[in-house]
Amino acid sequence: MFTCTPADETEPQGGFACLCHSAAFARLNAMVEQKFSRRSFLTGAAAIVGAATFWSKEASAAIPDAPATSIAFTNIKLFDGKSNKLIEGKRVVVDGNKIKAVEDIAVSAAEGIQVIDGGGRTLMPGLIDAHWHAMMVAMPMLDLMTADVGYISLAAAEEAARP
C-alpha cells in the first residue's frame, strides 16, 4: 500500500513514504513548471490547431498505388547494407512494392518490364523507413500530450513491433 506522506515523517504502517515530498522531486517539479508554463502550452496548442486548419489537402495526398508492371533498375551501384563495398553489375527488379530479384546484368531481362536507368548512381533499397516516430504513430496528439509517459512508451513499443 502506498500512502502520500512527506519523506521526513515516519513510514506509515504497512506502506511506503511518497517521494513527491522529497527535495529532489520539488526541484524537478519547479524546473518543469518553469520550462512548461500554461501560457506556452496554450500557445503551442493554438499553433497546432492553426496549422491543422490551414493544412492543404494536396499536402495530404494519398500515396499512389504500386505500378502494375515490374520495374528493373539498371546501371546502378547497389548498397545491400551488409558488405563494405558497392556492388556493380546487378539489376534490381521490383514487383509492386517488393524487391523480386537482384539479377546479374549479363542475364537478359524478362519481357514487359519497365527499365529505369540509374545513371551510375547508388541504389539503397529498403532504407525508406530508416527514421520514424513510433510514439506519434501509436496514438492521437491529444493522447500524447495528456497520457502517462509509461503508457505512451508501451503503445510505441507495440507499434514498433507491428510488421
Count the neighbouring beta carbons within 10 Å of the beta carbon of residue 24: 9
User: What span, in angstroms and rounded, lies between the C-alpha atoms of 119 and 43?
Assistant: 49
Tens digit of pLDDT for each residue in 115-159? 999 999 999 887 666 677 888 888 888 888 888 888 888 988 888
Give the pairing type, strands 87-88 and 77-78. antiparallel
Question: Is the entire prediction scored with pTM above 0.75?
Answer: no
Q: What is the DSSP letter of 11?
A: P
Tens digit of pLDDT for each residue in 50-76? 777 777 666 666 667 777 889 999 999
Comparing 19-23, 40-44, 134-138, the range with the smallest average pLDDT is 19-23
Count the neighbouring beta carbons within 10 Å of the beta carbon of residue 5: 16
pLDDT value, residue 129: 63
Instruction: Please state the domain extents for the chain.
Output: 1-57, 71-123, 132-163
**Residue 89 — very low, low, confident or very high, per pLDDT cuts 50/70/90?**
very high
User: What span, in angstroms and rounded, lies between the C-alpha atoms of 162 and 43?
Assistant: 35
Residue with cell 520514424: 132
Residues in the chain: 163
**Fold entry, domain 71-123:** Urease, subunit C; domain 1 (2.30.40)
